[in-house]
C-alpha cells in the first residue's frame, strides 16, 4: 500500500521540473521555426509553416494515445509492482508506434494534398506547406515510436531520462533548423527536414534510455517476456480500448485547433500568420504547465495501482496547487512580455499590429486552460478513457457552436471561442471527478 506522506510538494516539483524543462524545449523549436521564417521571409511562407504544422499535428497527434495511454498503463503496473508487465508494455507500445508510423509514411502522398485542400490554403501558402509536410512525414515512424518511449519513461517517473532524450531531439532540431533555413536557405523544406532528422535521433536515444532503465541485463529481461505474456489478450485489449478512447479524445481536441487555424485562414494571410505567432506563446505555456499534468498522470496511476485513495487525493491536490499558480504566472508573463515577443518573431507590420490587438485573449489562455490540462492528466493516469473522450466531444460541439455564433466579431470571435473550449472541457471533466473518486474506493 502506497503511503500518502511520501507525496510532498518537494517530491512533486522534483518529478515535474525535468518534464517542465523538456516540455519548454518542444515549443521552443516551433518558436525558432517561426523566428527564422518570419524574419527571413514573408507572411506567405510563415503562413505555409503554420498550415503545415496544423495538418501535421492533426495527423501525428491522432496517435498521441501512444504517449498518454502508455503512461497510465505503465504507472499502474509500477504501482502494482508488476515488473514483467512494465517490460511487456514498452515492447507492445513501441511495436505499435513503429508500425503506425510506417503506415502514415506510406499514406503521406494522399494525406498531404488532401489536408491542404481541406484547410483551404490561401494562394502562395500551399506550396510552402507541401514542402514542409513532405519532409516531416519521413520522420513518422520515429515520431510515433518516440511517443511510446516517452510515455513509458513518464509512467515510471523517470523524468530526467525523458528530459535528456527530449533535449537531444530539440537541440538537434534547432541546430539543423538554423543550418538548413538560416544558412542554406531551404525555407519550409529545411524546417521539415531538420525536424525529421532530429526525430530519428530521439528514437535512438529513447531505445538507449530503455536499456538504461532496465539495467545491464536489459536484453535478457526483454527476452524473458514470453510470447504468451506479450500477446496476453486481456492486456492487449486494455491497451486497444484505452487507446481508442484517447484517440477519439485527441481527434476532437485537434479538430478544435484545426478549426481555429482554418477560421483564421478564411480571414486572410495576415490573421493566419498573426494567430500562429500568438500560438507560440500559448504552446509554451501549455507544454510547460503540462509538466504538472504529466506528474499527475504518473502519481495518480501509481496510487490507483497501489489501491491507495489517500495517495490519489493528495496527488490531485498538490499538482492542482502547482498548476493554478503556474497558469497565473504564465498569463501575466504573456500579457507583459507579449509585445516584445511579437516584435522578435515577425517584422511584418500588419502581422504585428493584429497580433498585438489579440494579445489579451492569448494571455488569458493559460489561466483559463490550466484546469482542463490538469484534469486531462488525472484521468489519463486513471486510464479513464471514456470520460476523456466524452468531455472532448462535448467541448468540440460547444466550441463549433460558439465559433459560428461569434463569426461577426472576426479574429476576436475566433479567440473567444478558443477560450470557451477550454472552459467547456474543464466543466465536462469536472462533472466526472466524483465518479472517479467513487471508483477509487
Q: What is the distance between the alpha carbons of residues 384 and 432, in angstroms, rounded to a whole number?
A: 10
Q: What percent of the chain has pLDDT over 70?
A: 85
Q: How far is CA 317 from CA 290, 303, 320, in A?
A: 16, 13, 5
Contacts of 32 (CB under 8 A, 6+ apart): 173, 174, 177, 178
Write the burial class of residue 1 (CB in 10 Å: 0-12 exposed, 13-18 middle, 19+ buried).
exposed
- Average pLDDT of the residues in 256-264: 89
- Average pLDDT of the residues in 409-438: 92
User: Residue 4: is its pLDDT beyond 50?
Assistant: no
Q: How many CB atoms lie within 10 A of CB 234?
A: 7
Range with the largest mean pLDDT of 41-50, 194-203, 208-217: 194-203
Q: What is the pLDDT of residue 126?
A: 77
Helix, strand, coil shares of the chain as percentages rounded to 5? 90, 0, 10
Three-state secondary-structure class, residue 162? helix
In terms of Cα–Cα distance, which of 193, 86, 215 is closest to 133? 193
Domain extents in the chain:
4-439
- Average pLDDT of the residues in 103-120: 88
Which of 219 and 344 is assigned the larger pLDDT? Answer: 344
* pTM: predicted TM-score of the whole model, two decimal places: 0.71
Q: What is the distance between the alpha carbons of residues 61 and 140, in angstroms, rounded to a whole number?
A: 11
Ranking 116-125, 154-163, 250-259 by mean pLDDT, the lowest is: 116-125
Q: How far is CA 384 from CA 69, 212, 301, 417, in A?
A: 10, 30, 10, 27
List, as one string, the DSSP characters of 418-436. HHHHHHHHHHHHHHHHHHH
Q: What is the distance between the alpha carbons of residues 192 and 196, in angstroms, rounded to a whole number?
A: 6
Three-state secondary-structure class, residue 225? coil
- Average pLDDT of the residues in 407-434: 94
Q: How confident is the model at residue 3 (pLDDT cuts 50, 70, 90)?
A: very low
Would you state the cell numbers that stand for residue 182, as one nine-digit string? 538560416
Amino acid at each position: 500500500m502506497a503511503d500518502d506522506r511520501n507525496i510532498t510538494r518537494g517530491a512533486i516539483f522534483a518529478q515535474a521540473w525535468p518534464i517542465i524543462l523538456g516540455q519548454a524545449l518542444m515549443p521552443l523549436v516551433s518558436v525558432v521555426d517561426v523566428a527564422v521564417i518570419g524574419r527571413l521571409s514573408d507572411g506567405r511562407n510563415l503562413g505555409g509553416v503554420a498550415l503545415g504544422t496544423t495538418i501535421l499535428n492533426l495527423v501525428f497527434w491522432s496517435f498521441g494515445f501512444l504517449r498518454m495511454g502508455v503512461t497510465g498503463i505503465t504507472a499502474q503496473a509500477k504501482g502494482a509492482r508488476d515488473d514483467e508487465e512494465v517490460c511487456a508494455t514498452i515492447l507492445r507500445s513501441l511495436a505499435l508506434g513503429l508500425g503506425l508510423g510506417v503506415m502514415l509514411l506510406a499514406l503521406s502522398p494522399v494525406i498531404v494534398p488532401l489536408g491542404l485542400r481541406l484547410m483551404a490554403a490561401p494562394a502562395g501558402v500551399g506550396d510552402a506547406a507541401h514542402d514542409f509536410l513532405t519532409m516531416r512525414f519521413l520522420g513518422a515512424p520515429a515520431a510515433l515510436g518516440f511517443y511510446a518511449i516517452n510515455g513509458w519513461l513518464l509512467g515510471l517517473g523517470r523524468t530526467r531520462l525523458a528530459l535528456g532524450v527530449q533535449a537531444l531531439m530539440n537541440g538537434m532540431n534547432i541546430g539543423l533548423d538554423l543550418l538548413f533555413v538560416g544558412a542554406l536557405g531551404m525555407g519550409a523544406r529545411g524546417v521539415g527536414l531538420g525536424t525529421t532528422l532530429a526525430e530519428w535521433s530521439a528514437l535512438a536515444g529513447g531505445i538507449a534510455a530503455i536499456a538504461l532503465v532496465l539495467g545491464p541485463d536489459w536484453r535478457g529481461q526483454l527476452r524473458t517476456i514470453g510470447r504468451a505474456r506479450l500477446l496476453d489478450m486481456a492486456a492487449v485489449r486494455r491497451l486497444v480500448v484505452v487507446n481508442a478512447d484517447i484517440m477519439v479524445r485527441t481527434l476532437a481536441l485537434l479538430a478544435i485547433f484545426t478549426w481555429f487555424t482554418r477560421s483564421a485562414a478564411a480571414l486572410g494571410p495576415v490573421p493566419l500568420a498573426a494567430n500562429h505567432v500568438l500560438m507560440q506563446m500559448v504552446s509554451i505555456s501549455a507544454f510547460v504547465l503540462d509538466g504538472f499534468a504529466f506528474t499527475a498522470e504518473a502519481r495518480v496511476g501509481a496510487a490507483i495501482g497501489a489501491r491507495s485513495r489517500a495517495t490519489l487525493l493528495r496527488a490531485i491536490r498538490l499538482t492542482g496547487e502547482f498548476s493554478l499558480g503556474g497558469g497565473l504566472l504564465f498569463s501575466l508573463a504573456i500579457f507583459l512580455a507579449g509585445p516584445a515577443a511579437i516584435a522578435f518573431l515577425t517584422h511584418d507590420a500588419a502581422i504585428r499590429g493584429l497580433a498585438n490587438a489579440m494579445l489579451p485573449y492569448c494571455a488569458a489562455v493559460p489561466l483559463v486552460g490550466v484546469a482542463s490540462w490538469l484534469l486531462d492528466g488525472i484521468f489519463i493516469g486513471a486510464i479513464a478513457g471514456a470520460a476523456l473522450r466524452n468531455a472532448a466531444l462535448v467541448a468540440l460541439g460547444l466550441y463549433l457552436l460558439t465559433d459560428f455564433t461569434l463569426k461577426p466579431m472576426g479574429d476576436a470571435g475566433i479567440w473567444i471561442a478558443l477560450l470557451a473550449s477550454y472552459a467547456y472541457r474543464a466543466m465536462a471533466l469536472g462533472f466526472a471527478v466524483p465518479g472517479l473518486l467513487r471508483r477509487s474506493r
